A and B are shown apart, each in its own frame.
Chain A
Amino acid sequence: MTADGSLAARKPPVQTPLVWGAATVAAVAAWFVIYSQLAPFSSWLVDQLPVTPGSHLADAISFFVYDTPKVLMLLTLVVFAMGVVRSFFSAERTRAVLAGRREGLGNVAAAGLGIVTPFCSCSAVPLFVGFVSAGVPLGVTFSFLIAAPMVNEVALGLLFALVGWKVALTYLAFGLGVAIVAGWVIGRLKLEDWLEDWVRNVRANPVELPPDGLSLVDRIKAGLEAVRDIVGRVWMWIIAGIAAGAFIHGYVPQDLLATIMGRDAWWSVPAAVVLGIPMYSNAAGIIPVVEALLAKGAALGTVLAFMMSVIALSLPEMIILRKVLSLKLIAVFVGVVGAGILAVGFLFNALFS
């Protein structure tokens, strides 16, 4: 595959982009056909099993049988699309855009770029150091670091698929809102002195990367590579998440969750945030659980606060960030972001009732 790519890059035979383009269109069309048949197929499959229809076990099994292919297919499509989009962005270019930006507008740009810039948690520290040393303001850097993991394509795509576009859009808006406001607040607090000493002493040379010169075929391949990488890494989390969701769906009584996670229990939002911090999962694993909780009467704001807390405030990430941030700064980070998530939780519960 790679040898073909280099040949195509040097001497492009006319048909290659056409073939790749046509194959992509055909694959997407096949995706939609298969997807539309999932519901009848899964109910047929469950009917073949020797379980009593309508029992707890049948409920749990049909949830699992239907949701597993549905979620994996949706994830594949969304990750592919984002892989193609992300091939137009790089962390180095994002930094060049953000360097020297004022706060305010800079926070907004950073949060927005956080969605589309390729990012993995293993690169959080180089990214942080690289941004700060190149003159990106601390608060703007935080806006990026909060938005990048929280408002990602996996979270948005799965929310859209499982709980509807209204919830997905609201999550997008509030996720960006938390990243922008939290970053702005951190910037206002003027905490540059709380960075670890060595970080302040790094002097970064601006880097001029050669233009990537990617063709359409390269970008499609980048999308496929993203699918192989991300779906290959998270599929077992998703299946575990759906299994947990199936259990909740089949066995947890309706009113139990409505009482402890419903709208009337005001303390449930802070409890959900605190509970989320030591838990570490990616969006893919948590969303099937989110769907099942919602179906059982848990309040939307409470569930989303839980989800945001699990993704954005994770203990492992803090341990990694400890290399560049003082404990005081980490405490401020957790406090500000936590407060933002709390506000989102209460607001959602008030809005969607």
Chain B
Amino acid sequence: MKNVKVLGPGCSRCEATAKMVQAEADKLGLDVTVEKVTDYAAIAGFGIVSPPGIVIDGKVVHAGGLPKPEDVSRWLSA
């Protein structure tokens, strides 16, 4: 099971990113936990400067702006 963290202080794009990750995982039939990280210190700890960021199993795959659905799908299946 993959652990996906969506990093962001609760802005609308962060919400949209979290929804997109869940939707793409459902499409792929993957079992994932999507966790929202809103704490500034934790976000900075991952090295993310521009939210929303995406961390999959501890690895940062995206930062800054809304990702493209096909990219999310690619990261999830990697």
* Chain A contacts to B: CB under 8 angstroms: 2-3, 5-6, 9, 90-92, 94-95, 118-119, 122-123, 125-127, 129-131, 133-134, 198-199, 201-210, 323-324
**Are A209's CB and B68's CB within 8 A?**
no
Whether the pair A204, B50 counts as a contact (CB closer than 8 A) is no
Chain A CB count within 10 A is highest, among B11, B46, B48, B61, for: B48
Quick check: B49 and A198 within 8 Å, CB to CB?
no
Contact residues, B19-78 vs A (CB, 8 A): 40-41, 43-51, 60-65, 68-70
**Cβ contact of B64, chosen from A91, A202, A203, cutoff 8 A:** A91
Within 8 Å CB of B43, what residues of A? Answer: 126, 129-130
B65: A residues at CB distance < 8 A: 118
* Nearest CB in chain B to that of A205: its residue: B47
**Set B9, B61, B69: member contacting A126, Cβ < 8 A:** B9
Whole-angstrom CA separation of A203 from B41 in the bound complex: 9
Number of interface residues of B (CB under 8 A): 22
Tell whether, in the assembled complex, residue B41 and residue A210 are in contact, meaning their CB atoms are under 8 Å apart. no
A92 with B49, Cβ < 8 A, contacts A2-B69, A126-B9, A207-B60 known:
yes
- List residues of chain B with CB within 8 A of the CB of A204: 44-47
- Nearest CB of B to A314, in Å: 18
Q: How far is the CB of B75 from chain A (nearest CB, A)?
A: 9
- Find A205's partner among B40, B41, B45, B64 (CB 8 Å cutoff): B45
Given contacts A90-B64, A204-B47, A209-B61, 16 further A-B contacts (CB under 8 A): A90-B63, A91-B49, A91-B63, A91-B64, A92-B48, A122-B51, A126-B9, A126-B48, A127-B50, A129-B40, A129-B41, A131-B49, A198-B41, A207-B48, A207-B63, A324-B40
Known: A122-B11, A125-B9. A210 touches B49 (CB 8 A): no
Contacts of B51 in A (CB 8 A): 122-123, 126
Q: Which A residues touch B47, using CB under 8 A?
A: 92, 130, 134, 204-207
Kindly report which residue of chain B lies nearest to residue A323, judged by CB atoms: B40
* 6 pairs of residues in contact across A and B, judged by CB atoms under 8 Å: A6-B68, A91-B64, A123-B49, A123-B51, A126-B44, A204-B44
- What residues of chain A lie closer than 8 Å to B41, measured between beta carbons? 129, 198-199, 201-202
Q: A209 touching B46 by the CB < 8 A rule?
A: no
Residues on A with C-beta less than 8 A from B40 are 125-126, 129, 323-324
A126 touches B68 (CB 8 A): no
Q: For residue A203, which residues in chain B have a CB less than 8 angstroms away from its CB?
A: 45
When distances are taken between beta carbons in the complex, the residues of chain B under 8 Å from A122 are 9, 11, 51
> What residues on A are CB-neighbors of B69 within 8 Å?
2
CB distance from B7 to the nearest CB of A (A): 8
Is there contact, CB below 8 Å, between A130 and B61? Answer: no
Chain A nearest CB from B2 CB (Å) reads: 17
Contacts of A123 in B (CB 8 A): 11, 49-51
B9 to chain A, nearest CB (A): 7
A5-B68 contact given A95-B49, A126-B49, A130-B49, CB 8 Å threshold: yes
Q: Judge whether A92 and B70 touch: CB under 8 Å.
A: no
A206 vs B69: C-alpha distance when bound (angstroms): 26
Q: How far is the CA of A125 from the CA of B50 in the complex (A)?
A: 9
What residues on B are CB-neighbors of A207 within 8 Å?
46-48, 60, 63
Residue of B nearest to A222 (CB): B65
Contact in complex: B46, A205 (CB < 8 Å) = yes
Residues in A whose Cβ lies below 8 Å from that of B61: 209-210
